[in-house]
Amino acid sequence: MTDAAKQDERRAPPESLSRREMIATTAAALATPLLPLRPAAGPQPPGAAAAPRFLTPPEFALLDELTELVIPTDEHSPGARAAGVAAFIDGRLAESLEPEWQALWRSGLEAVEGLAREHHNKPFLDATQDQRVEIVTAMAAGPRSASTLTRNTRATCTSEGTTPGTTRHRGLGSVSCPP
């Protein structure tokens, strides 16, 4: 097709549709009423929790807290919770056709729980804010730091004669000595 013909085609009045365009437009118009309606996505009112689509409710709550720790509310913008980040991730996981990806997310959440239980003898969501930040900071520093977190806690509690259940400061923040 020549450049002149392309320009003429672009200048064609909008009323002229090709047969293919007419069929596509008609099919779209006929199919639109058959599509399921979903509520518009928007910020959830305070206290309203989205029902998880893929994750279990405990996994979803953990993900919601982790995203809020990473993207907290500040004076410039709402945090991850207000933006519905956990619901977005859960929705993508629900729609994923890759079981490996879904399993990776689940195992990551299990690892966070395992680290919290091993280090603080309680689930992540039962830990204090400082303990949660300590765990997330260690994970962000890499796998070696997260595993070192537990070894350092045991060493600190044992070598410094710390009474179980008390807290000492140790590099990555407060350390709760297991009972």
| Dihedral of the alpha carbons of 136, 139, 144, 146, in degrees to the nearest 10 | 40
Pick the closest to residue 44 from 89, 79, 16, 1 (CA basis).
79
Report the alpha-carbon distance of residue 164 to residue 36 in Å, rounded. Answer: 56
What is the model's pTM?
0.57
- For the stretch 19-56, pLDDT in tens is 776 676 666 666 666 656 555 555 555 445 568 999 99
pLDDT single digits (tens) 55-65: 999 999 999 99
Give yes or no for a contact between 89 and 67, defined as CB atoms under 8 angstroms apart: yes
Q: Is 174 helix (H, G, I), strand (E, B) or coil?
A: strand
The CA dihedral of 81, 99, 123, 156, to the nearest 10 degrees, is: -110
Q: How far apart are CA 120 and CA 135, in angstroms?
A: 10
| Backbone phi, psi, residue 176, to 5° | -95, 125
pLDDT for the residue numbered 55: 95
